[in-house]
Amino acid sequence: MSVLSVFFLGLGDLVDTQTEYGRLFETYIGEELSAYLDYNRRKEKLSYWRTRQSSFEVDFVIGDEVAIETKTTKFVNEKKDLRGLRALKEEGIFKKYIVVSRDSISRTTDDGITFLPWNLFLDWLWDGKII
């Protein structure tokens, strides 16, 4: 759902616990990724990953470079929020695995998944540190 959709639907201000808030956050990160790839004339394809049974999914994958999951939470739960990324990581395809959230600190798990606050992620993206 885009910001314009929210406006035209008359939803007003969104609360960060609403489903629409999560969709907008994911859309915002996706638009930034798309803009970065286009602006920098990158050839990598932006898509998503999902198992055949749809048990697990990852919001964004870029070529064979990076897999990115978005979470609107202010503290990412390693057990609950990383199931999709960890399932994909078992395939060993990507060089980086990243969670973008509203968390205030960056950190890396023991198995190499990087947590980045959304604003730091965007700084790194446009500085060429993500792809």
Considering only CA atoms, give the Rg of the chain. Answer: 15
Residue 1 has pLDDT above 50, yes or no: no
What pLDDT, on a 0 to 100 scale, did the predictor assign at position 48?
A: 96
At residue 88, what are phi and psi to the nearest 5 degrees? -70, -40
Tell me the helix, strand and coil percentages in the chain, rounded to 5: 35, 20, 40
Taking only the tens place, the pLDDT of each residue in 70-125 is 999 999 999 899 999 999 999 999 999 999 999 999 999 999 999 999 999 999 99
Average pLDDT over residues 54-74: 94
Beta-bridged to residue 98, according to DSSP, are 68, 114
Q: Which two tokens stand for residue 105?
A: 């600190």
Taking only the tens place, the pLDDT of each residue in 5-56 is 555 455 556 555 556 778 889 999 999 999 999 999 999 999 999 988 878 9
**CA 26, CA 98: separation in Å to the nearest integer?**
14
Is residue 4 very low, low, confident or very high in pLDDT (cuts 50, 70, 90)? very low
Contact 100, 69 (CB under 8 A): yes
3-state secondary structure of 33: helix
pTM: 0.86
